[in-house]
Structure 1
Amino acid sequence: MSIARNTFKTNFRSLKIERHQRLAFCLAGLLGLVCLPGRAEYNVTIVDKAPEYRQFGRVEITGSSIVNPRAREILPVRVIDQREIQRLGAQNTTELIQRLPAMHSANELGGVNSVGKGGNEAGAIHGYEAGTLVLINGRRVAPLASQRADLDRTAVDLSLLPLSAIARIEILSDGASTTYGSEAIAGVINIITQEHTDGLTLKAEMLNPQGSGGSGKTMALNWGRGKLAQDGYALQIHFEASEREALLAKERSYTDPRAKPYGVDANGRPLTFVPRYTNYSHSSPGKTYKPVETAADCTTGYDFVPDVTLSLSNPAYHGIKRCLSSTYRNSNIYPEERSQTLYAQFDRVLSAHHTLFSELSLQHAANAYTNLSPTNTALVFKAPNYYYYAPDAYQSGVRTQNNDRKRLVLGSRGSLADWDYTLSAVHSQNGTQLNEEGAYQATTSAQWTALLRPYANELVNDPASYSTGLKNALNSRIRDPRLLSEASIVQQGLELRGSKVVGETQWGDIQLGSGVFAQQQKLDITNPASPVLMPSYSAQRKNMGASLELQIPAWENLELMGAMRAEKYTGFGSVLTGKVGLKYALTEKSHLRANVGTGYRAPTLSQMTPVATYVLAGTTQNNKPLSGFALGNPNLQPEKSTQWSFGAHAQPQANWGIGADFWQIRVKDTFGTPTISQIDADPRLKAAHYTVNPDGSVRYDLLAMNLGQMEKSGIDYYVQHRLPTDWGRWLLGIEGTHNLKSRRSNYPGDPLVSDLGQYQVAYESVTPRNKIRFTSGLEQANWGINSQINYMSGNREPIPLYSVVDYRGLPVGDSYTHQVKDTWTLDVSGWHALSKSFKLHWSVTNLTNETPPERFTSLGATIISSLPRSDTRYNDYYGRTFRLTVEWKVW
């Protein structure tokens, strides 16, 4: 018997077997081991022929263009396979990824919707969201469409795929610009879909938090037919529809913005946290004006608290308390969510060496949130009384962000002239519409007074009891539903990658990977509601280039890797990046690895388009109008980075695994816009970005700039243990990230300022020192139960001036520092196969109902606001949440 083999194929030249007794004839191939019973004598001849579907021996590794399973150990790639997905009990792709300790990302569904930036769920490797590239099956996805010059929108929404369509997720926690180009400075999240799906499966899921608001449900259908290796084709369809109720600030005690004690001062006198208050209630009926008020005068929705405004205006009012309403009690911590997601995949064998593949992704996601209008207030006089009133108590505006995402992939993979190749064309499109209904037209206090005076006595009543006349008066000022803004980004790309053996050393094959690519991107922004303040514009660019990678077994225990990529952009020119790496095997079960490389990140189209867009309004201390405009900058240069990592990993026994990687990122020419607090504090910025108009109003120009440098470093580590017992298999593990450094400069030439354990107002960021997950589980053939303890260290932050008042009612917040507490949460999940057709999944998130940390300095806000706000980097704000899922495999 003569057998010749290389890495991907086996050729049987001739085989003759002669025996006089019963025997077994076994052929080993790519698809397994096939045994044929025999008789007394056989004469078998097999003609030279490659296996029918040769390309399925391919092993593609995230971060490498070479088809080679050895590459996985050179690069720090974290793999979440189907078994782990089931163990973790995650509800969706976003939850699965954002829970990882190496991730440190704020989910924009929480805590920022009062300014209309919600509805996006991104990942951030080591806290660098804009430097985290998200791929599906190794190919790019269009970024978020809701772009502005002051919003760094390179991120990709992680909810694009149903969880059922995912085979595994590979997370490369090291720079990969030499393989994938822009945005891969911090690393890559590569979501890899199923190769095939068998039959029809239906799924129903219910979510129920402990407390009002936030309930949800999901229905899903998965269907597939054919296996590529056996049938020559595979077709699968995954559909998911979900919805979830809104969660308002007032529905959780820890997010309800009400006055509360805040310790004592140096002399033991009480301090009080006082959020933003008003005389006008946006959630309750109006109230009668009284020169002097007592606690008994405070009706539902009003608190008896120091009036900070009065205290500032006249020392005689120090300590004066009034009945005031918390402005944002009806604002959203989480919006109402609805989504429908479809993913379809079709693969077809064209010949023994070529396979056609295609993917289609469609998603519509809508997020609705309350938009309160603090300018729509009135002080209505009808003898003998004055009445404070906010029309939002009767009807508040609702803004809905509709996101439509489409992605189509066509391609071919296989082998050609000793090359393993993949050719793909990708069309990816994201569209966003922001709509509003139920909001009032701009109306002055004098106009409201004239309109409501006939009905003034009713304003203190419940809105449900209003007369027809009062309802008609209020309805007359409600706008017709309108489109506020619309954005669309289209990204198209064509890429050819190839891999082949180009030589050998005595320790193995030398492999070469290469690629050529071309991409174009177009952005369209339309603002029909405010065409003057928020001009519409379009922008586009193209880029193209080539990459090379080489892997060399340089010694018995040493493997080397080198790569480079050259790329040219319209707008700012050419970029060249490189990377080298190595793996050194200490023993058969332990190795060291190291990587060092350069990377880059291109500015977004909005950041480079010279258009001024109105982004915020307010008032100065002199009660003059304040406005802010975000400006693009065509002179922006790309961010450029150097990063390196060094790791040690071992599996001393079959059931044990341990490892750690030290990593560091250094970035120069970081993107950003100066914040208002920066401009006010820095004479250089004030001279360039601050204007006082003749009428006393103030304008801030928030210009996109290359601000300076950023540095991050830390250690990712893990310990895993599997223990077979009579009860089943125990799984134990620790996974964590210890951040050693996180700092950046606020302006070119300025020193670097740390945000490690310290919230930085200047660039609105914070990095925890530690994020850890402890996992344990017990599994048998038909059931399993698992738990995760999640820890995230706290941080310190400045307190806005008006957030804390002393015993006299004077604001003293800027004299104190707030400690955001360490957070521990416990999640428990399990599954049980009731039969071959039915499977039950359940989970309890935040089982101990741990109160989330309060943050006084709002993430994502350009003006410091005196509100306790949510920070979803720690844990979600639903509280203890029960989830039950039933799967039925129909056939």
Structure 2
Amino acid sequence: MKTIRTSRLSQAVRSALLLAMLPAAVSAQEASDEGITTLDRIEVTGTRIKTSEAEGLVPVQRITREDIDRSGLTSVADVVQALSGSGSALNTKFNSSGNFGFPPDGSGVGAGSAQADLRHLGAKRVLVLVDGIRWVNEASASGVGAATDLNTIPLAIIERIEVLEDGASSLYGSDAIAGVINIITRKDFDGISINAQYGEYGEGDGATSTIDFAWGGGNDRVNYFLGLSYTDQDVIYSRDREQSSFPVPGTGVAFGSSGTPTGRFIITDPNTGVTFDITPNDGANDPVYDPTQTGCVRTDDYHCFATADRFNFSQYNLLLTPSERMGAFGQVRFNFTDTVTGYAKVLYNKRESTNQAAPEPLFFGPEAGTGNPQADGIFISALNPFNPFGFDLVSADDPNTPENELTLLLIGRRPVEGGPRVFEQEVDTWYVGGGLEGVFDAGNKSLFWDVNVAFSENEAEQTNYGSYNIRNIALALGDPAACAAVAGCTPLNIFGGPGTITPEMLAFISPVVRDRSQNKLSLITANLSGSLFDMPAGSVDFATGLEYRELEGWYQPDPITVAGDYNGVPSLPTAGEYDVTEAYFEVNFPLMADSAWGKKLDFTVAGRYSDYSTGIDEFTPKYGLRWQVVDELVLRTSYAEGFRAPSIGELFGSDSRFDAQLDDPCSTPVDPALTGNCAALGVPPGYSQPNPQISVTTGGNDQLEPEFSESWSTGFIWSPSFMENTDIADRVDFEVTYYQHEIEGAIQAIDAQTQLDLCVETLDPLYCSGITRAPTGGINGFNNRLTNLGVINTSGWDVDLFWNFPETKVGQFGVSWRNTFVTEYEAFGAAGQQQPQGPGIEVVDSAIPEWTSNFTTDWSLGGWTAAWTMRHISELREDCGNAVSFPVCSNPATSTNILEAITYHDLQVSYRFADLHDLRLTLGVNNVADEDPPICLSCSLNGYDASTYDIPGGRFFYLRADMRF
């Protein structure tokens, strides 16, 4: 695992020196705002050195307050996810409770949260800072999260957001493999500001209301700021949009669920030996079963189950989840002397959100594949007064009646009488921080120092209505005498149509499930920065510091879940903690200044040593070169090694489960080349997979090693002087950056579909040992554990243009055009098996577009301003899977569906009334062209990729008023 790091260390140093002649990365936005060398003693993301020479060593994108207001968005995550370099991440457009289950990393589903992904490397590989200090990870109420919920940070308190899209473990420690998001809060704010916004979709739904209050002021000694924020986002149901109103868009209920309100029964009659796959006729609430009828043409109250009988679960799902967020933030800064300042900060944020899924299905029998032995091995007594078949329904795994023959393969009954599953989250976040900072002279040099302490906590509780107790269900379906001996037990009728499960039956089987989790972060840091000594080309500047932090997390599911009695996704408690002590340094050496080779050449080296109580002991270096060839041209390059320590959930996460949509290669029709292998796995000829939803067991692994990474970026920024202050431009900046990330030992589980396919293709125990099958051939066990996988490689280009036009009689225009091109993305398992992700591919509710682009033109004249933004996402392709025979699969011959390229247009116009307390009224429309997201066949539940496209589609109108006093 460490070979990649140690064997390439010396090579990296040599490469860094050679790469001085190559273009390298620098932030065009910073160059545009500040000039190339005008920064004076402030700290920027990407370096700890508080000097102008250190700026721009790596690409840092700055999102200003004006950029945030221009977007019309009301969430930090939505703003960051709109960047061209962002990848797929959780947001409030994911209806993520219910069937999402528990991811292998022990983080839970994060229902209602919103995260950020950079370079498509995952949210847990992005470090979130607030004013340069780590922010607490989320508590999802279903696990111990490894990523930050950006909904815990109110948008109203933000001055700007700085996004570093480069490896930064040497500067900031673990989790910064893909980059850093540093949120800078408002400090120098004078007066009162009230901001209110209301928006909704063209269909009249999805209303979002926000109101923000800001108050600040101060004098030479003290400075204070208070921010209050409230956001309320309304629900949009899947049934309210044509595309999401069916499980597979355009196919009706073709791929709906086999858990239906009337029930699906795959049983073997012990009297005849005939196996049936039948369902009651509509209206047959007390169906009569005739054992003498053996075909599908029947005269009793049943017919053979067919596609048309499947249940349309989409009618109950949500496209946009309701979310209410309230936040309060205050900070005060006090100048004790001219050289020493103290500060204190406090934040409280509360989120109340809701997810909803279709009524929870009851699946019984060996073909159910739920992973719950009480369901897979259930016994339904012939004495149950509602059992129409006249014989015991016995599962193959029933330990109580091993002498009986198998009579039950699968029952799927959805008790719509109990209503939908509703998951309500309450999430509270606390942050308290304080510190001292100052400057002192050492000889003729000034040294800057700061000491910081912070305590933060994120606690979540999720209450689930509409789920069921499988132990009570088994009791109510068994011998009525045993049921009568238990208080409240009423024999259960799962054999009739909707309405046959009475309120008394529901009262016995319907619990209220409450899950809780918490993440805590405590830290103390001390930093020192300044100049060491002078060299012929300038001063040698440095930064160094110490950091100590403690992380603690736990997850406590409901007692019925712990007992294994929950019919839904099972899980066990998780708890763990660790601490880490770190020391870092960063030094900038001026190698050349004002010579024939150019104006300035600087070499920067940084390193961080980390000592974890879990036994991890690592050093991560970083090297960079900055060559200012002439005033208008700067070249940059950097090389960094990084690591990410396993999270609490990854280390200590207990057994849990998620429900995956898997296509069994051994299901009819079978590839002739796989027939022998399927037989060897115990699959009988003619087997047809009855239920594509397979329960996959996951869990943590305390033997995990850290992930190690190498990151390299190179590029240039060119500000042509011949265009500066001319008739066509005030200033033009052109930036090109090449990036490359390699992660070895990535912590994740192999893609479940890939594992199943490789098992059938190779029969290799490496893939098959975790997959078990029932005697009928169906998958009844799937173990998919965390491990250190092989390698993730990704590379690409950022190409950006910034053009400020001179002011004219018709106003002043500006252009910002950001582009990201992903040229490579490959992920390999520990044994070299390639995962399905790649450029231009949609898979598992996430996409890696080959080209994403944001083009913004802004205009101002007097009190008027306007902006027009185009957001482009290139074409994607996905495997059609079982949808290959339907018209929605664009290329059935290759089983490929094309998600066409899409361009969104956003328009905003505002006017400032200077005489009315600077009242600014803003009217905006996002998605002016009324584009709908392309159909996604492989995406969960709603037929959309909620992390790539505007969901739910359609125009979004908003009106905002901003007044200052």
Structure 1 contact 65–498 (Cα < 8 Å) conserved? no
- Range moving further from structure 2, 691-700 or 189-198: 691-700
The corresponding residue for 1:665 is 741
* Distance (Å, rounded) in 2 between the aligned partners of 1:814 and 1:94: 39
The corresponding residue for 1:862 is none
* Distance (Å, rounded) in 2 between the aligned partners of 1:806 and 1:839: 51
* Distance (Å, rounded) in 1 between the aligned partners of 2:415 and 2:581: 55
The corresponding residue for 1:479 is 510
* Distance (Å, rounded) in 2 between the aligned partners of 1:76 and 1:758: 26
Deviation at 1:815, TM superposition (A): 6.5
Q: For 1:477-521, what per-residue CA distance to the aligned partner results, in whole angstroms no more than 9, with x for missing partners?
A: 5735331x2111111111111102111123321111101111111
Partner SS, residue 789 of structure 2: strand
Pairing 1:197–2:186 present: no
* Distance (Å, rounded) in 2 between the aligned partners of 1:494 and 1:453: 60
**1:174 maps to which of 163, 166, 175:** 166
Partner SS, residue 731 of structure 1: strand
The corresponding residue for 1:80 is 63
User: Does the C-alpha gap of structure 1 residues 389 and 540 become closer, same or farther in structure 2, counting only changes over 3 Å?
Assistant: closer
Amino acid at match of 1:766: A
**1:63 maps to which of 33, 43, 46:** 46
The corresponding residue for 2:416 is 392
* Distance (Å, rounded) in 1 between the aligned partners of 2:494 and 2:430: 53
* Distance (Å, rounded) in 1 between the aligned partners of 2:260 and 2:775: 31
Structure 2 contact 473–509 (Cα < 8 Å) conserved? no
Amino acid at match of 1:512: F
**1:576 maps to which of 619, 622, 626:** 619
Amino acid at match of 2:947: T
User: Does the C-alpha gap of structure 1 residues 617 and 275 become closer, same or farther in structure 2, counting only changes over 3 Å?
Assistant: closer
Pairing 1:120–2:113 present: yes
The corresponding residue for 1:12 is none
**1:739 maps to which of 822, 830, 834:** 822
User: Does the C-alpha gap of structure 1 residues 393 and 256 become closer, same or farther in structure 2, counting only changes over 3 Å?
Assistant: farther
Amino acid at match of 1:698: N
* Distance (Å, rounded) in 2 between the aligned partners of 1:617 and 1:560: 50
Structure 1 contact 243–338 (Cα < 8 Å) conserved? yes
The corresponding residue for 1:637 is 705
Deviation at 1:617, TM superposition (A): 8.7
Structure 2 contact 417–498 (Cα < 8 Å) conserved? no
* Distance (Å, rounded) in 1 between the aligned partners of 2:860 and 2:766: 60
- Range moving further from structure 2, 766-775 or 438-447: 438-447
The corresponding residue for 1:709 is 791
| Residue correspondence of structure 1 range 471-870 to structure 2 within 5 A | 472-473=503-504, 476=507, 479=510, 481-483=512-514, 485-528=515-558, 529-533=560-564, 534-556=571-593, 557-609=600-652, 611-616=654-659, 627-652=695-720, 653=724, 654-681=730-757, 682=759, 683-691=764-772, 698-723=780-805, 724-750=807-833, 755-760=838-843, 766-801=847-882, 803-805=883-885, 816-834=895-913, 835-858=916-939, 868-870=943-945
Deviation at 1:614, TM superposition (A): 3.8
CA RMSD of aligned residues (A): 3.7
Q: For 1:199-219, what per-residue CA distance to the aligned partner results, in whole angstroms no more than 9, with x for missing partners?
A: 222222212112253112122
Bigger relative contact order, structure 1 or 2 (CA pairs below 8 A, ≥6 apart): 2
Deviation at 1:332, TM superposition (A): 1.5
Amino acid at match of 2:54: A
The corresponding residue for 2:341 is 355
Q: For 1:565-593, what per-residue CA distance to the aligned partner results, in whole angstroms no more than 9, with x for missing partners?
A: 11111223211111111111121121111
- Range moving further from structure 2, 785-794 or 765-774: 765-774
Q: For 1:87-141, what per-residue CA distance to the aligned partner results, in whole angstroms no more than 9, with x for missing partners?
A: 3333332222111111123333224424352312111111222221111001101
* Distance (Å, rounded) in 2 between the aligned partners of 1:617 and 1:664: 32
* Distance (Å, rounded) in 2 between the aligned partners of 1:120 and 1:76: 28
Amino acid at match of 2:342: L
Partner SS, residue 725 of structure 1: coil
* Distance (Å, rounded) in 2 between the aligned partners of 1:772 and 1:555: 37
Structure 1 contact 648–659 (Cα < 8 Å) conserved? yes
Partner SS, residue 949 of structure 2: coil
Partner SS, residue 790 of structure 2: strand
Q: For 1:282-307, what per-residue CA distance to the aligned partner results, in whole angstroms no more than 9, with x for missing partners?
A: 9xxxxxx99899xxx99xxxxxxxxx
Amino acid at match of 1:204: A
* Distance (Å, rounded) in 1 between the aligned partners of 2:495 and 2:296: 29
Deviation at 1:280, TM superposition (A): 3.5
More strand by share: 1
Amino acid at match of 1:248: Y
Pairing 1:367–2:353 present: yes
Partner SS, residue 42 of structure 2: coil
* Distance (Å, rounded) in 2 between the aligned partners of 1:127 and 1:310: 50
Structure 2 contact 739–796 (Cα < 8 Å) conserved? yes
Structure 2: segments with no counterpart, 5+ residues? 1-38, 101-108, 263-277, 285-294, 298-302, 365-383, 389-411, 479-489, 565-570, 594-599, 665-687, 725-729
Aligned length: 772
Deviation at 1:331, TM superposition (A): 0.9
Structure 1 contact 259–275 (Cα < 8 Å) conserved? yes
Q: For 1:434-492, what per-residue CA distance to the aligned partner results, in whole angstroms no more than 9, with x for missing partners?
A: 111354555759969997989989959xxxxxxxxx97457635735331x21111111
- Range moving further from structure 2, 213-222 or 846-855: 213-222
Pairing 1:252–2:236 present: no
* Distance (Å, rounded) in 2 between the aligned partners of 1:146 and 1:260: 30
Deviation at 1:699, TM superposition (A): 2.4
TM-score when scaled to structure 1? Answer: 0.79
User: Does the C-alpha gap of structure 1 residues 617 and 260 become closer, same or farther in structure 2, counting only changes over 3 Å?
Assistant: closer
Structure 2 contact 46–168 (Cα < 8 Å) conserved? yes
- Range moving further from structure 2, 713-722 or 625-634: 625-634
Amino acid at match of 2:588: Q
Deviation at 1:254, TM superposition (A): 2.1
- Range moving further from structure 2, 64-73 or 195-204: 195-204
Deviation at 1:673, TM superposition (A): 1.2
* Distance (Å, rounded) in 2 between the aligned partners of 1:707 and 1:690: 19
* Distance (Å, rounded) in 2 between the aligned partners of 1:195 and 1:390: 55
**1:234 maps to which of 211, 223, 244:** 223
* Distance (Å, rounded) in 1 between the aligned partners of 2:856 and 2:74: 17
The corresponding residue for 2:157 is 165
Deviation at 1:691, TM superposition (A): 4.0
Pairing 1:883–2:958 present: yes
The corresponding residue for 1:9 is none
Pairing 1:436–2:464 present: yes
Structure 1 contact 391–474 (Cα < 8 Å) conserved? no
Pairing 1:154–2:151 present: no
Q: For 1:397-451, what per-residue CA distance to the aligned partner results, in whole angstroms no more than 9, with x for missing partners?
A: 3111222211111111111354201110111211121111354555759969997
Structure 1 contact 87–830 (Cα < 8 Å) conserved? no
The corresponding residue for 2:88 is 105
Q: For 1:146-180, what per-residue CA distance to the aligned partner results, in whole angstroms no more than 9, with x for missing partners?
A: 3989x9x4321222332232111111111111100
* Distance (Å, rounded) in 2 between the aligned partners of 1:364 and 1:813: 48
Deviation at 1:780, TM superposition (A): 2.5
Partner SS, residue 450 of structure 2: strand
Structure 1: segments with no counterpart, 5+ residues? 1-55, 263-271, 283-288, 299-308, 312-316, 461-469, 860-864
User: Does the C-alpha gap of structure 1 residues 750 and 220 become closer, same or farther in structure 2, counting only changes over 3 Å?
Assistant: same
* Distance (Å, rounded) in 1 between the aligned partners of 2:195 and 2:43: 31
The corresponding residue for 1:267 is none
* Distance (Å, rounded) in 1 between the aligned partners of 2:209 and 2:938: 33
Deviation at 1:373, TM superposition (A): 3.3
TM-score when scaled to structure 2? Answer: 0.74
